[in-house]
Structure 1
Amino acid sequence: MSIRLTPTFCLGLLLPILALCMLNGSIDTLPLFMEQQQRQLMMQIITELRLPRVIVAALVGAGLGMAGLLLQTLSGNRLADPSIIGVNQGAALAVVLGILIMPEMPPQWLPLLGVAGGLTSVIVLWRLCRGTPPIALILMGVGLSSLLGALIGCLLILSETQQLAMVMTWLSGSFASTNHSTLVSTLVWSSVLLPASWLLCQRLGPLLLDPLSSRMLGARTGAIEGLCLLMACALGAVAVAASGTLGFVGLLAPHLARLLHPPHPERLALPVLIYGALLTMLADLLGRSLFAPVQLPAGLMLAMLGVPVFILLLLWQQRIRG
């Protein structure tokens, strides 16, 4: 039985988490505010370094959570996630190619490359898995992700040393290099894609029915499926362009929302956006503060949490099917 939480309560969680992420990190800012001489420096650290980083982390997490909800509803498999089925890896491969070939490319063009790469990978996966059980999507996606990851590794080996260090830091799923240019690019794309994905979720009801019932209701499921794929790829591409490959946000955020809210796509949209943002902000906060002054990438923290949860969900789904 689901615990009923209101969207207002979920929105209320964002403010204290946002304040916590702004005031804590590799340097504990709050005690320094008490000193008059350090206060101006701390305000500069917060506004110029932490604020762009936290906002980008929230937007990236919200986008990945929504991409996971769209893919899970589309495939009928609650284990679908942009990082598991190869969407993020396809986007990352295209972005890495763009960075290595054209290092002076403006950052606002990187999401377009990511959309092309992610869409190509998901179309290949969709064609391979047509007519197969839902679990085949996960298994085939894991294989495709491994292949794309190997291709990224080959590109990195062939790249120059300076480019290798930059791309490796980015691929780890880190917000350490976030700047105002990244903030503007992510904010512009997210301001279009997040509201559009929320509106799309209001039309996902026919995908929960069998094909015959959907046709009897006159629903254009083909168009909805195509929009879901395109939107999931676009959201994953924006996340990859901003922070590299972050895994398991699209898996965990929809599951949290289903546990705490009515399990209908139109009612899950807002909670998924909020939980995705919270997961990514907290992962970045833990990476900055656990071993300060050493900073761990947010992608590493998400993997440490997400891999055990993914294994448990896979075993639970197999047990239900059995």
Structure 2
Amino acid sequence: MFPDRLAEAAAEIGAALEAALAGKADQPVIHAMRYALQGGKRLRGFLVLESAALHGISRAAALPAAAAVEALHAYSLVHDDLPCMDDDDLRRGQPTVHVRWDEATAVLAGDALQTLAFALCCEPVLGPAERRLSLVAALAQASGAEGMVLGQALDIAAESAAAPLTLEEITALQAGKTGALIGFAAEAGAILAGADRGPLRAYAAALGLAFQIADDILDVEGDPEAAGKRLGKDAGAGKATFVSLLGLEGAKARAKDLVTIAELALAPYGAAAETLRDAARFAIARQS
């Protein structure tokens, strides 16, 4: 069953992250890093492991890359939650890092998680140096000013824009903020194998957008306790979302269409990609 496979991968990735922090100084910033890494579905790391398996790369050989994308994702959440960004006080059912410690510690913990991600991408077990370099470059592009950071910047700018974003604009925003890191995760196996990334890139583009639409739907009709965070914040702020632009039923239909597109993109891999198809279905069926 897919939930069992996801949980198994999450446990392995969590152990790898804990091992990466083992022996570090007994300092608040290290404790904050560990705290930020707790919980979560670890779907991005799971995508790394499954895309690697698709290319004949063992779980052990791909695990540092899976841990890397989760460390990078954790950093982004720590910083997004800050008062100068989204100003959230709850994440995964627990106080956010800046609430549990303070803003300075949250900034530093996020910075350290980001650098940890790139260090993990350099682990020799990942393969030849040129493949590891390609992985580092891909993660930098996905997470930086052409990807996740750009998406967050566009999101912040939208809060003070004269008019709500159009569907095209919000699609571009979320392709960076949410989709870019999912894209890296899905393509990581092909990068490590030196293989064609085209099919997985198409898969990830559809998956990332479906994932964000599902988030917007959960923001409207989800259970805050299950989600582990405040819901309805975007609507309360008057921000454009896929639900506000497409309507609730329209957003659900669009998410289902995107899952179909993601599944079709995996056709070159045949039955070997069935777990990745399951991941796409999970993206819009989850409750958190």
TM-score normalised by length of structure 2: 0.28
Higher RCO (CA < 8 A, seq sep 6+) = 1
Bigger Cα Rg:
1
TM-score normalised by length of structure 1: 0.25
